[in-house]
Amino acid sequence: MILIDGKKEAASLRLKLKDEVIELKKKFNNVPGLTVILIGELAPSQIYVRNKEKSANEVGLNSHVIRYPNDVDEKTILKKINDLNKDNSVSGILVQLPLPKHINKKKVIEAIIPSKDVDGFHPINVGNLSSGYESSIPCTPLGCYFLLKKIEPNLSGKKAVIIGRSNLNGKPMAQLLLKENCTVTITHSKTKNLKSECLMADIIIAAVGIPKLVKGDWVKKDAIIIDVGINKTDEGIVGDVDFEQVSKKVKALTPVPGGVGPMTIACLIKNTIDCFKRTQTN
């Protein structure tokens, strides 16, 4: 079984991106800038933002984190996003989710100008992705896509089963795999007989949030399994796939942690650089 090493792949992507930033600096006398807005004190969000900032600095981006207390009002956030939209030193804007309940997520996502939407959540980017046009692509599915391509460069005709239909993971993942000519099935909480769907899959992307949902007898022998899940349990962080059982059967599998997670952050850096490049004229 191939253990898909997301840490290694992410490190190698960051190195490539670092070289690219050096070249961009030579060419444009400027580097891409990433601004992250963090509201409140949620521990996981603090960790994610710290890791994003660390990676952005490592690659040579001009990165900033703007922090607000949990009770900041929506107007202040929308005004800040509007200012950042107009700021030429900012190539990418990310508002860390989840937001406090009194702030409307849809309004915040739609306030970010699509050309700086490094998360790829703006409806314009979602539409462009599903139409097959150039767009920012949500970082986690993009990371899954790179890991998959590493194992199987030609995905054409493969049957892919995606577990989970969120805007963050399942839906954009489906678009990426369709573009690669996979036959895609999106499953969700109302799907009947998930096991039999999975048993037909050459590729499974599990993005559910249920610890060890995918069992050893749910998978084909030569399947490639990408485990997006991050679940806190008594035995530590585990994925949506029963690693012990599934790793004995399949061709390739991502571990949790150390699989999709590191790629997500590297893809955020890539998206920021791509946003910067799209705004340069020469």
**Selected binder of ligand NAD within 61, 147, 260, 275 (CB under 6 A):** 260
According to DSSP, residue 214 is labeled B
| C-beta closer to ligand NAD: residue 31 or 208 | 208
For position 172 contacting ligand NAD by CB under 6 A, the verdict is no
Asked about 52 being catalytic, the answer comes back as yes
Question: How far is Cα 221 from Cα 55, in angstroms, rounded to an integer?
Answer: 36
Tell me the C-alpha distance between 166 and 154, whole Å.
26
Choice among 80, 117, 119, 274 that is catalytic: 119
Which residues ranging from 136 to 155 are in contact with ligand NAD (CB under 6 A)?
140
- What's the CA gap between 21 and 13, in Å, rounded? 12
Site stretch for ligand NAD (CB under 6 A), options 87-95, 242-250, 257-265, 270-278: 257-265
CB of 115 to ligand NAD, least distance (A): 23
State in angstroms the smallest separation of the CB of 45 from ligand NAD: 12
User: Per rule CB under 6 A, is residue 229 in the interface with ligand NAD?
Assistant: yes
Assess contact for 123 and 113: CB atoms under 8 A.
no
What is the residue-wise DSSP string for 221-248? TT-EEEE---EEETTEEE-SB-HHHHHT
- Find, among 240, 189, 231, the residue nearest to 212 by Cα: 240
Which segment (10-18, 80-88, 110-118, 184-192) binds ligand NAD by CB under 6 A?
Answer: 184-192
Q: Give which of 111, 1, 78, 96 is closest to 41, Cα–Cα.
A: 96
Nearer to ligand NAD, 44 or 157 (CB): 44
Catalytic residues: 52, 96, 119
